[in-house]
Structure 1
Amino acid sequence: MTGAERRPVLDVRGFSLKFSNAADVPNVVDNVSFPVHAGETLCMVGESGCGKSVTSLALMGLLASPPARRVAGTAHFEGADLFALTERELADIRGNRMSMIFQEPMTSLNPAYTIGEQIGESIRRHRGVKRAQAREEALEMLRLVHIPAPEARLDAFPHQLSGGMRQRVMIAMALANRPRLLIADEPTTALDVTIQAQVLSLVRNLQAETGTAMLLITHDLGVVAEVADHVAVMYAGRIVEYGTVADLFDDPQHPYTIGLMGAIPSVGKRAGSLATIRGSVPSPEQMPRGCRFAPRCPFAEQRCIDAAPPDRTLSGEHRVACWLAPVEQLVKPAQQKELT
């Protein structure tokens, strides 16, 4: 495969963001870099408050500025830097070549308009087709996402649909213009397990058909194992570990990643209790000076407290931001069970 073919659809490098003009206030998102390639899924995983959704909203140009302020970095989408585009140029891309499935479909859909009107609006805005044609294409999208009785649902309002169907509508709307990049922010959080599996299967199938690149934001490692090609583990605004899904599940190297893996419930018999990670994600005003995970890390040394660790490439695409990596020699059996 040539270098041109492997050029990512989205390439984020050194992105930093803060919500303050004060120089001494830490960045909410700090020096974040990752690529997303055509036909592949990058899962961004971490606890609530780690900066995943803020990153996605910044990429879509949906953060109010002020207070949001980009401090550094670039985000090239098909060669164009998203952060250098005018609002009009970004509006032409958003919902067209780059789309987003938001976390809560009930608050993301407009209750005053029918499903057909909302899907059709995006089609008309970006492709300039007539209302009748937009309606036909909206109907086809509802069929594509397996909405039952799509002709009737086309004229339904959001409150008349179940949570699972509203989420399918959001997927139909996001894919209506065949985007090159799809950002999905916790797309299955409010769904029961059966509907969640159906939605994930639907997204994977549509992605395979269209070659769409996907950035999937989640805290569910089960979802990651199911759909990811690559994984970026985010903690307190920084990517602490990045690699293929096999890298992360077979050989996690950051203590935070190890803690997340240890907290996954298993179906079979389990020896001992689930792992826990003491403490909580720090607020933006209380970010530690060095490694942001140091106050919660069972292996932290003085250098972890004093300075932020650099990214280290372990093998291939696998990289980690930890002074102590590789960590195999540090993790004792008892500590593997309980990261406290």
Structure 2
Amino acid sequence: MHSDADSNPSPLLAVDNLTLRFSSASGNVVDGVSFSVSPGETLCIVGESGCGKSVTALSLMGLLPMPPAQITAGSAMFDGKDLLRMPRREMAAIRGNRMAMIFQEPMTSLNPAYRIGDQIAEVVLRHRPVTRKQARARALEMLDRVKIPAAVKRLDDYPHQLSGGMRQRVMIAMALANDPALLIADEPTTALDVTIQAQILQLIRTLQEETGTALIMITHDLGVVAEVGDRVAVMYAGRIVEQGSVDDVFIDPQHPYTLGLMSSIPSLSKREGRLTTIPGMVPTVDTMPPGCRFAPRCPFAGAECKAAVPPLTDLSPGHAAACIRAPLEAEAHFDGAVA
């Protein structure tokens, strides 16, 4: 984890009250989400599938079709401009240049018909006043940088000739080719085995330290958060329910959902009993309950939890939770259903 993130407090990206819905849905798929990330800092957005993490990222990158998606409130200030209200042409000039994204499955993001060297060079040519030869040299430099062996030979390979881990390295090379100020990584290691996953995370972290890029890491894996995060935003059913430094949230989780996520992690030391799970499912956008959206699954919920939406409230400097029961007593433990 980086210790210097706090030395530059002015955010590179500041998202405020982002609210988004799809025209066919009755509720907001992202509901009043606010967070920020500073240069050189890693913010992890964590939560179960379907909680709105990826939709949030795609909206910031201007990659959601509008309609059916519709941003009904909020702003996302980046370099002094609001990404949510930026003309499409201006957004296209920023995407892949000042901002870049790594996706979950590189095979769907790389074009199978083009050599990987050409695909990286194309990103450089689109945004930089360089010749094709210079762009190809940059592609080779990036393949070296992401530690692809025999990079000269790999330049002319097609995506199908590479392993999953190598394809993900190519995606990272492509995302970083223009030295973006902000990198968004959406579950970048989910499709990879554990050993390769650790290598890719280490690679992203090393490259980030070298370049000072701000990173938003979207994941459902708290192990990934512990590995790379400075700060974490826990997201549930389209809302941020807890936010703080990784240390604060891991040592002193203050939302029942965060507590449930923590309790679901296998421990190397404790063997007795079975893994705790959080009962129930994340509600769909059409079945969002009133009040606290976690209340139907929460062991601490009372009638008041279902009556009003709990605001994200500061419990200590930089650590906030959206729970009327917070701060939770130290002895409170999550007593969910067992798997």
Match status 1:208 vs 2:209? yes
Ranges in structure 1 where 5+ consecutive residues have no aligned partner: none
Residue matched to 1:250: 251
8 Å contact from structure 1 (residues 272, 337) kept in 2: no
Aligned residues: CA RMSD: 1.6
* SS at 1:336 equivalent: coil
8 Å contact from structure 2 (residues 226, 246) kept in 1: yes
Instruction: Return the offset for 1:78.
Output: 1.7
Whole-angstrom CA distance in 2 between matches of 1:224 and 1:265: 15
Deviations 1:211-262 (A, max 9, x none): 0000000011011001100000000000000000011100001000000000
Match status 1:126 vs 2:124? no
* SS at 1:91 equivalent: helix
8 Å contact from structure 2 (residues 256, 334) kept in 1: no
Pick closer, same or farther for the CA change 1:227–1:329 going to 2, 3 Å: closer
Residue matched to 1:336: 334
Residue matched to 1:63: 64
Whole-angstrom CA distance in 2 between matches of 1:78 and 1:257: 32
Whole-angstrom CA distance in 2 between matches of 1:87 and 1:4: 34
1:125-204 to 2 correspondence within 5 Å?
125-204=126-205
* SS at 2:36 equivalent: strand
Whole-angstrom CA distance in 2 between matches of 1:160 and 1:196: 20
8 Å contact from structure 1 (residues 116, 139) kept in 2: yes
1:82-93 to 2 correspondence within 5 Å?
82-93=83-94
Residue matched to 1:15: 18
Q: When the two structures are superposed, what TM-score results if normalisation uses the length of structure 1?
A: 0.95
Letter in 2 for 1:49: G
Residue matched to 1:98: 99
Q: Percent of aligned positions with the same letter in both sequences?
A: 65
Residue matched to 2:81: 80
How many residue pairs match? The answer is 334
Whole-angstrom CA distance in 2 between matches of 1:298 and 1:250: 20
Residue matched to 2:225: 224
Whole-angstrom CA distance in 2 between matches of 1:279 and 1:269: 25
Q: When the two structures are superposed, what TM-score results if normalisation uses the length of structure 2?
A: 0.96
Pick closer, same or farther for the CA change 1:223–1:13 going to 2, 3 Å: same
Instruction: Return the offset for 1:308.
Output: 0.7
Letter in 2 for 1:12: V
Ranges in structure 2 where 5+ consecutive residues have no aligned partner: none
Deviations 1:179-209 (A, max 9, x none): 0000000000011111111111111111001
8 Å contact from structure 2 (residues 39, 213) kept in 1: yes
Match status 1:326 vs 2:310? no
Whole-angstrom CA distance in 1 between matches of 2:108 and 2:31: 29
* SS at 1:217 equivalent: strand
Whole-angstrom CA distance in 1 between matches of 2:329 and 2:132: 61
Match status 1:6 vs 2:4? no
Residue matched to 2:315: 314
Residue matched to 1:110: 111
